[in-house]
Amino acid sequence: MEQSRAASRLRIVLGHLGSPSALNIVGHPTSGTVSSASFHPQQFQYSLDNNVLTLEQRKFYEENGYLVIKNLVSDADIQRFRNEFEKICRKEVKPLGLTVMRDVAILKSEYAHSEKTVTKVQDFQEDKELFRYCTLPEILKYVECFTGPNIMAMHTMLINKPPDAGKKTSRHPLHQDLHYFPFRPSNLIVCAWTAMEPIDRNNGCLVVLPGTHRGSLKPHDYPKWEGGVNKMFHGIQDYEENTARVHLVMEKGDTVFFHPLLIHGSGRNKTQGFRKAISCHFASADCHYINVKGTSQENIEKEVAGLANKLYGLADSVDLKDIWMFRARLVKGERTSL
């Protein structure tokens, strides 16, 4: 029934579209410092004028492509998100359009209907409790510094990184999120990623390559890992392995905002616990869709279209734009191009 409703809703959206109308550095818990001499205010490209970020924070994001805000989301909100996630795992609630993912190494786990088998839930835009994350004033206050006042929630995830089963499949390869997005400009897109518990290198914290947001979108594909790779975990094929990287050690409630071209990933979870984080990619409603056919993003478009056909029985003609139109939700301001 839920799949049928989701397919019906997506067909309506498609109908509208067809109408006329080498150094391992431990990351500082805050934004850190940068050289003042290297910046002039008029040269800011990656953030908009605002009264929220300090000049030092804007400079840091400009140079590095990410910014950590400490203790941004309350313990109470995080507990509510955790409770809802557990209900989804137990199949007590079944949000429309939600995608439940399982690690390739534990697909046949004995823990049926348990958070121990679910590694990620995506597209929770129809789950009112989880979607509250995307509308939290404390989150949107910072998002607006990068997107402007008209804000769309484009992609939602709650990540439940499992203890590694010995095959290192809990890793996430280094990638750029823009690889998955058929809309531009990239400078009006930002991810908010909140730690739901203390996160460090033992349980697989985020690792970022500072400054890589100033580069271009690189070709992505599945890495050739012996233990296998999770579905749609594409990675960059030609990055410089000796590039300095920062491991983002975060406390519960800390939130990192980062640019969609920033190269990042995460290590394996070497603990016996599950590492949880909740995130949303936001974009300005002034962004526009692009055709990815003939580009390096065509491989992910084909994979997404195949998944839509499998889940909802939709035609293979569905493209990446159709899927993102289905996911997009206005959370602040007015809807324009998107």
For residue 180, which of 324, 288, 330, 318 has the smallest C-alpha distance? 324
3 domain-assigned: no
DSSP secondary structure string, 180-202?
G--EE-GGGEEEEEEESS-B-TT
Residue 267 neighbours by CB under 8 Å, 6+ apart: 171, 201, 204, 205, 207, 247
pLDDT digits (tens, 9 = 90+) for 114-134: 677 899 999 999 999 999 999
Residues in the chain: 338
Q: What tens-digit pLDDT sequence spans the chain (338 residues)?
A: 555 555 544 443 334 333 333 333 333 334 444 444 455 555 899 999 999 999 999 999 999 999 999 999 999 999 999 999 999 999 999 999 898 887 655 555 555 556 778 999 999 999 999 999 999 999 999 999 999 999 999 999 999 998 987 877 778 889 999 999 999 999 999 999 999 999 999 999 999 999 999 999 999 887 776 656 666 677 897 777 778 999 999 999 999 999 999 999 999 999 999 999 999 999 999 999 999 999 999 988 888 777 766 766 666 667 788 878 888 999 999 988 88
157 domain-assigned: yes
Q: Give the pLDDT of residue 134.
A: 98
321 domain-assigned: yes
For residue 293, which of 206, 182, 213, 189 has the smallest C-alpha distance? 182
337 domain-assigned: no
26 domain-assigned: no
Own/partner pairs for 237-244, CB < 8 Å, 24+ apart? 239/174, 239/209, 239/212, 239/263, 241/22, 242/22, 243/22, 243/209, 243/212, 244/22, 244/23, 244/25, 244/209, 244/210
Tokens linked to 72: 């941004």
pLDDT digits (tens, 9 = 90+) for 313-335: 666 667 788 878 888 999 999 98
CATH code of 280's domain: 2.60.120.620
Residue 311 neighbours by CB under 8 Å, 6+ apart: 3, 6, 7, 99
273 domain-assigned: yes
Burial code (b: 16+ CB inside 10 Å, e: under 16) for 131-155 equals: bebbebeebbebbbbbbbebbbbbb
pLDDT digits (tens, 9 = 90+) for 209-236: 999 999 999 998 877 766 566 666 778 9
Q: Which domain holds residue 261?
A: 55-332
Own/partner pairs for 83-88, CB < 8 Å, 24+ apart? 84/127, 84/129, 84/130, 85/115, 85/121, 85/130, 85/158, 85/160, 85/276, 86/115, 88/118, 88/121, 88/127
pTM score of the predicted model: 0.85
Domain count, the chain: 1
**Exposed, middle or buried by CB within 10 Å (0-12, 13-18, 19+), for 11?**
middle
220 domain-assigned: yes
Q: Give the pLDDT of residue 136.
A: 98
Residue with tokens 């990638």: 175
Residue 64 neighbours by CB under 8 Å, 6+ apart: 32, 34, 208, 210, 211, 213
Q: 126 and 97 in contact (C-beta within 8 Å)?
A: yes
45 domain-assigned: no
